[in-house]
Structure 1
Amino acid sequence: MDLFERRQWRNGGLLLLVAVLVLLAWWEPGHEMASAVSPLLDVDPVHVRRIRVERPDQATLVFERRAEHWAMIAPESGPANPVLMRPILHLATLRCPLRYPAATLDQAALHLDPPRLAVRLDEVWIRFGDRAPAADLRYLQAGDVVYLCPEGVYALLRGAAAGFLAPALEMPAPLDRGER
């Protein structure tokens, strides 16, 4: 075997190794499961009519759907910011592949009992606990199951109540016809 053939074999082997590494990186544990994991709740966000967010040491937020728009009814009242309502409604469709029976966990240690905060979408509650130590995930409990879910909406729900109101549209002052 001459030098050229050895290099071809070595390059072919390296190419095969790269292909295997790419395949392993693409097929990580849980990657395939994520598409098969059912949503956090059996609730269609389109049909949710009322949202309640109970936050210890902060005012409880209450939102109501009025026609196609959301309104905050407590602690302040007015049209709710639709950009901020989307992630709250998205909680119902959140897919969290890591789940555990709630009875097998120390819920007090995870701050699920009492929760850090609780969200009620119509009649279904989601309780928020602590963050997982080594990941950007948070413990959420819905029914008898505790999930490890992306951190996303927790900081939003801890924000100031007034921030959930839609910004008022300000009309520009009319131009003075004498100025040009």
Structure 2
Amino acid sequence: MAGMISKRWIINYLLIILIIIFTYIGNRYQVETGFQPENRITTLKPQDINRISIQIADYTITLTRKATQWQIDTPVKWPANNIVIERILGIALSETESSIRADQIDLATLGLQFPTAILSLNDTKFLFGATNNIGQRRYVMTGSTVYLISDIHLHFFNQGLSALIDRRLLPRTMRLQNFRIGSLKLSKTNDNGWQNDGKAITPNLLDDMITKWQTLEASRIQPYQKTNIPKQR
């Protein structure tokens, strides 16, 4: 019995000695563990971003977050496509394996002297340069550093306003109170039903029609140009 206890103490002492040795080696030679910190290009968090500015050539688009909905402020005031905006904000979480200080390279060779676009998230600017032919990556400069990251963000906004605007014909926050089409005149009642002042219509068909109007999306969006409207004769 005494012999077994002695062996256990010896084993415990050996384990303690091994722990001390490995700890010393780790501190002395800075042995790296399997976990490595992320090589993110910014410390921004998407949930903390509430202002966006996009510059493409001489065209500027600004947006602000209002509660859970993004709103386009200029050049028009209209709800933005939240899904597209969240994908743009993903650049804040981008990681890179290649970076260089901006003063150590000719920015013109990377397309950053005259960037393709400038994206501002709050007060942090991202300048988009040329693409790298290997691995579909793009040069992006933020602060005083140039990074090479996956080219998955620019195409979400380089088409301008039409890529950012919410395609729903009615804003998501709008609740219909009155509806008129042709001879059909509808108004909402106090119990959230609908009354028909014109053409008779079955309740199921009525609900289906109103729901479609509230969720209807445009198939294509383009800038309004008054000069292209046919003149009435």
In the superposition, the TM-score normalised over structure 2's length comes to 0.57
- SS at the partner of 1:127? strand
2:92 — aligned with what?
A: 92
Unaligned 5+ runs, structure 1? 1-31
Q: How far apart in 2 are the matches of 1:74 and 1:121? A: 16
Higher RCO (C-alpha under 8 Å, 6+ residues apart): 1
Please give the residue correspondences for 1:90-169 in structure 2 after superposition, counting only pairs within 5 Å.
90-168=90-168
Question: Counterpart of 1:129 in 2: which secondary structure?
Answer: strand
60-69 vs 159-168, which moves further: 159-168
Displacement of 1:163 after TM fit? Answer: 2.9
- Note the aligned Cα RMSD (angstroms): 2.7
1:166 aligned counterpart, secondary structure: coil
Note the C-alpha offset of 1:65: 0.7
Q: What does residue range 1-180 of structure 1 map to in structure 2 within 5 Å? A: 36-56=37-57, 59-168=59-168, 176-177=201-202
Q: Taking every aligned residue pair, what percent have the same amino acid on both sides?
A: 21
Name segments (4+ residues, structure 1) moved above 4 Å.
Answer: 169-175
Identify unmatched segments of 5+ residues in structure 2: 1-33, 171-175, 187-199, 206-233
Q: Spell out, residue by residue over 1:30-65, the C-alpha distance to the aligned partner (whole angstroms, 9 max, x if none).
A: xx89x63332112111111100011115x2111101
CA distance, structure 2, for counterparts of residue 69 and residue 127 of structure 1: 26
Secondary structure in 1 matching 2:83 = helix
- The Cα shift of 1:135 comes to 2.5
Q: Is contact 1:40–1:94 with CA below 8 Å preserved after alignment?
A: yes
> Contact 1:37–1:97 (CA<8 Å) still a contact in 2?
no
Q: Compared with structure 1, are the counterparts of its residues 177 and 43 closer, same or farther at alpha carbon in structure 2 (3 Å cutoff)?
A: same
